[in-house]
Amino acid sequence: MSPVRHVTLVTSVITLGIASLAGCSEADGPSSPPSPGAAAPSPTATEVPCGAVADTVSRHLRSDQVRAVTVEGQCTTVVVATTLGDGDAGPGRQLCDRAGEVAYSGDVNSVRVLSGSGSELANGITGMRCLT
């Protein structure tokens, strides 16, 4: 077998292998979108929507010092924005520990508490007390 014919044969085999692995066929078209009335699957206990976690933490903290509670990342970090000053690490750590009592559900694995200027006052991770 000539080298050119061998390379062509090998190239053809590789191309066919890639096409079959990718599941290419002319019958495959774009998938149709779900019908407007179709219900989305409901989340399980470990798949709590990000907004629900933020609302739960906000209700649990019930403090005039809390301006907003949001979730960042891919629903992994609860961020508590406060009116506290940059030197208020103690109250920030207390808010962080309290937020941690209810925040760690679904993918949430950390809590951050920020001062009014945006400086981090405290942070915590699942199963640990918050640090300043």
Is pLDDT above 70 for 121? yes
Give the residue, 15 or 78, on which the prediction is more confident.
78
| Strands 120-125, 66-72: pairing kind | unpaired
Q: Of 83, 60, 81, whose CA–CA distance to 70 is shortest? A: 81
Amino acid in position 36? P
Most confident of 12-16, 18-22, 37-41, 71-75: 71-75
Give the residue, 52 or 24, on which the prediction is more confident.
52
- Whether residue 12 lies inside any domain: the answer is no
- Whether residue 100 lies inside any domain: the answer is yes
Is pLDDT above 60 for 40? no
Q: What is the pTM of this model?
A: 0.62
In the chain the beta strands, taken as DSSP E runs, fall at 66-72, 77-82, 110-114, 120-125
Work out how many domains the chain is built from and give that number. 1
The mean pLDDT value for 101-108 works out to 90
Is pLDDT above 80 for 12? no
- Taking the C-alpha atoms of residue 130 and residue 121, their distance in angstroms, rounded to an integer, is 10
- Taking the C-alpha atoms of residue 60 and residue 49, their distance in angstroms, rounded to an integer, is 17
- Whether residue 114 lies inside any domain: the answer is yes
- pLDDT, position 2: 55
- Whether residue 105 lies inside any domain: the answer is yes
- Whether residue 66 lies inside any domain: the answer is yes
- Whether residue 90 lies inside any domain: the answer is yes
- Whether residue 70 lies inside any domain: the answer is yes
Q: Quote the domain boundaries for residue 94.
A: 50-125
Residue 65's pLDDT band, with cuts at 50, 70 and 90, is very high
- Whether residue 54 lies inside any domain: the answer is yes
Query: In this structure, what CATH number is given to the domain that contains residue 78?
Result: 3.30.70
- pLDDT, position 60: 94
The mean pLDDT value for 74-89 works out to 94
